[in-house]
Chains A and B, each alone.
Chain A
């Protein structure tokens, strides 16, 4: 994970920074922003697929974090707490924007036993078999596939695969149970595997 911290603050521990924020130290908060801005932006971008919107939502998230930093009790890590805010802001925004997934409604109740676990994906008409996919095309296919997930399913798969968060951290960030996280991961992976199998086999 890359960090871009100014040298002066780079060695300060996170709990210390948070305590200083709670006393009104804006420089301490600036340092936390530096540490997390890329990850937050990246997570939101993968949720909303628009750079400007992701920028604005990332800003909104940090503003909310600053305004509610007093309420952080240290029971979880700061970044789990921050991600809870990020997810609330982003999922609320997606709901209000009424982004409907293109294609079929995501069906949570597709039963594994009704699907052959090794079933091959039917290739899309425009896929280029036996050729290396262009990076832009890969990005576009991934964005399309993720857009077919509900906001909550997007959140769990991205937090797991891209942030490598633990189940309990994801549960805390989303305000749901660990079982729900695992169940959503199951369905999100299934869906994305069906949609992207030809992509990761051709990249």
Chain B
């Protein structure tokens, strides 16, 4: 079931029809004020559309992009080459991979054991999952970042309900 905000938005955009529209209009305490508000929203939309920004030197944009793509990736996609056969059979590749992994794991273990328990970790805090409760904060968004040159990990939440100053009580 749509919230009031969703219905209002749909009404502004002319997306509310039929019975839903009738019920919504009937629920408005002041239709004239609401119509004025709708008109105001339309004017806002027109104002924003008038501010369309042109891309000056568009051809140079494409040229620069093409140069960058050529530098970074070359021909991006080609049909996968047939797997070379010969001495390096699939089985040998598999055994080679497993053996390399084992050697790597051993070396890693040796290196780790040489570190003292109190030696400082190189690694920053990692965020594995994050979420906000949508029933509590339907408009909240959450993201994670690690600012450059700062050894911190930040979980940035936007859109939580603002609270009065009393909530700062110890």
Contacts and interface: CB of A to CB of B under 8 A. Distances in A.
A and B touch in the complex (CB under 8 A): yes
Interface of A: 4, 21-24, 26, 29-30, 33-34, 37-38, 41-42, 45-46, 55, 58-59, 62-63, 66-67, 69-70, 91-92, 95-96, 98, 105, 107-109, 112, 116-118, 138-139, 142, 150, 152, 157-158, 160-162, 167, 176, 179-180, 182-187, 189, 192-193, 196-197, 199-201, 203
B151 interface: no
Contact of A108 (B15, B37, B53, B139): B139
Contacts, number: 166
Interface string B55-87: 100110110111011101101111100000000
Interface of B: 2-6, 8-10, 12-13, 15, 30, 32-34, 36-37, 40-41, 43-49, 51-55, 58-59, 61-62, 64-66, 68-70, 72-73, 75-79, 138-141, 143, 145, 147-148, 156, 158-159, 161-162
B5 A112 contact: yes
A118 B30 CA distance: 9
Most buried by A among B30, B76, B140: B76
A11 B53 CA distance: 26
A42 B64 CA distance: 18
Summarize A's interface: helix, strand, loop or mixed: helix
Given A67-B73, A112-B4, A180-B139, 8 more contacts: A42-B54, A92-B143, A107-B162, A109-B161, A117-B34, A182-B2, A182-B6, A199-B47
Contact of A162 (B3, B52, B78, B143): B52
24 contacts: A22-B77, A26-B76, A33-B62, A45-B53, A59-B61, A59-B64, A67-B76, A92-B143, A92-B145, A107-B162, A108-B161, A117-B36, A118-B37, A150-B141, A161-B48, A167-B15, A179-B3, A183-B138, A186-B5, A192-B48, A193-B40, A200-B44, A200-B47, A203-B47
